Chains A and B, each alone.
Chain A
């Protein structure tokens, strides 16, 4: 093959070839190991472009139709090329793996609680109202996401919309607080702390709407005596916002 053929890997990974070229390039792939590796990586990369799309909620009907069609569709039985070999686990290094871990941690063993700062929302507002607030912050055009492990363990994700003057905090997998203590959340500006929330006794995670965020430069989590403190006494982690 000419040197030129290898350079089709990008267009191929993007699906930007016609059927004839695809077939020709796949023949080339069968005999070119460097291209196989490159295509696998570039295809994985191209797939990430799919992440930059809105995530629509599929209609319930679509799920039903798909499952029903699957129930009456026979599967292709392939000659077992790899026999009973267990599929090799692949690890996608770096950020992608971290992102997956976020989801697993959020839905995994540690119970995640959803809380809101009730002075801003009123005691009796429906759950839908908080969900709306959270999704509005997440959907804000200027929303920035800060994601960081905390010194004491666990991790914090803070989504900030300066335009809305609000943020959403997700905390997960914090260490179990000592007896009589609880976690308190802060926004700091010029080293001046302002309390923006308090976790329930015993809680090790939360999703919370915070605000106003105004010019806050740092988000912090501290461990405090139950009931909270006027200023943080034992900071367990911070996230720089900006």
Chain B
């Protein structure tokens, strides 16, 4: 505005999509019927998160790309087995990603403490991705806030398992804590996270 010399300048318009984008569930349903275009759209929707999770667990960018490719090809191959009743498409895909990444890590038997290593920061955000980056940042912040509500021992058990790729037996050993205690910490911790995040399986549209 002229008053203090500020002036908004239009640089770019996002083209209007008639009804927004189809979500991952819809895309996966089409992928199950052999729709390659839907697969490409699904790839664009989830590849960043798949790669992000794979990197966090395997700690190696090249290996993480391999895992990502394997997982997404597996998504294509087995899309018909996805059961919407049991959760969302993105949970299905990320569960598969986590499993595959953890398998790699366990196969390597790299028992250095992966939790201690800092993730390689990749803060590059392209011009087009800002909107999604903000949404992602919102999610991240909420996840952190909810993780912060866990007791320290719950948080330790949950993060060693999920990000570190350790089994609950390994976590119990590592912490010199009885197995049932560790199992309980993982369950109670996730339940607390679930309630904090407001995750609830609910039928209907």
Q: Output the least CB separation between B137 and chain A (Å).
A: 6
Q: Residue A27 at the B interface, CB < 8 A? A: no
One digit per residue, 1 when the CB lies within 8 angstroms of any chain B CB and 0 when it does not, for chain A 47-85 equals 111111111111100110111011101111110001000
Q: Residue B107 at the A interface, CB < 8 A? A: no
Q: Output the least CB separation between A149 and chain B (Å).
A: 14
> Do B6 and A117 touch (CB < 8 A)?
yes
Q: Residue A108 at the B interface, CB < 8 A? A: yes
User: Which residues of chain B have C-beta atoms less than 8 A from A11's C-beta?
Assistant: 161, 167-168, 182-183, 186-187
Q: Residue A23 at the B interface, CB < 8 A? A: no
User: Which residues of chain A have C-beta atoms less than 8 A from B73's C-beta?
Assistant: 66, 69-70, 73
> Do A67 and B43 touch (CB < 8 A)?
yes
Chain B interface mostly helix, strand, loop or mixed?
helix
Q: Residue B175 at the A interface, CB < 8 A? A: no
Given contacts A95-B198, A228-B2, contact A114 B11 (CB under 8 A): yes
> Do B193 and A45 touch (CB < 8 A)?
yes
> Do B131 and A50 touch (CB < 8 A)?
no
> Do B167 and A7 touch (CB < 8 A)?
no
Give the residue of B83, B125, B190, B204 whose beta carbon is less than 8 angstroms from that of A46: B190
Q: Output the least CB separation between A128 and chain B (Å).
A: 7
One digit per residue, 1 when the CB lies within 8 angstroms of any chain B CB and 0 when it does not, for chain A 155-199 equals 001010000000010100000000000001000000000011111
Q: Residue A28 at the B interface, CB < 8 A? A: no
Complex Cα distance, B203 from A88, in Å, reads: 8
Complex Cα distance, B186 from A99, in Å, reads: 26
| Closest chain A residue, CB of each to CB of B142 | A95
Q: Residue A203 at the B interface, CB < 8 A? A: yes
User: Which residues of chain B have C-beta atoms less than 8 A from A138's C-beta?
Assistant: 125, 130, 133-134, 137
| Closest chain B residue, CB of each to CB of A79 | B80
| Closest chain B residue, CB of each to CB of A205 | B14
Scoring A74, A92, A106 by chain B CB atoms within 10 A of each residue's CB, the highest score goes to: A92
> Do A45 and B194 touch (CB < 8 A)?
yes
Q: Output the least CB separation between B67 and chain A (Å).
A: 11
Other A-B pairs, 5, CB within 8 Å; known A58-B47, A91-B204, A138-B133:
A16-B167, A53-B49, A63-B44, A90-B25, A99-B135
15 A-B contacts (beta carbon < 8 Å): A8-B183, A16-B161, A16-B166, A16-B186, A46-B190, A48-B193, A52-B147, A54-B122, A62-B47, A66-B68, A78-B81, A88-B84, A115-B10, A203-B8, A229-B3
Partner-A contacts on B (CB < 8 A): 1-21, 23, 25, 29, 32, 34, 36, 39-40, 43-44, 47-49, 51-53, 55-56, 61, 64-65, 68-69, 72-73, 76-81, 83-88, 90-91, 94-95, 97-99, 102, 119-127, 129-144, 147, 158-159, 161-163, 165-169, 171, 180, 182-191, 193-194, 197-205
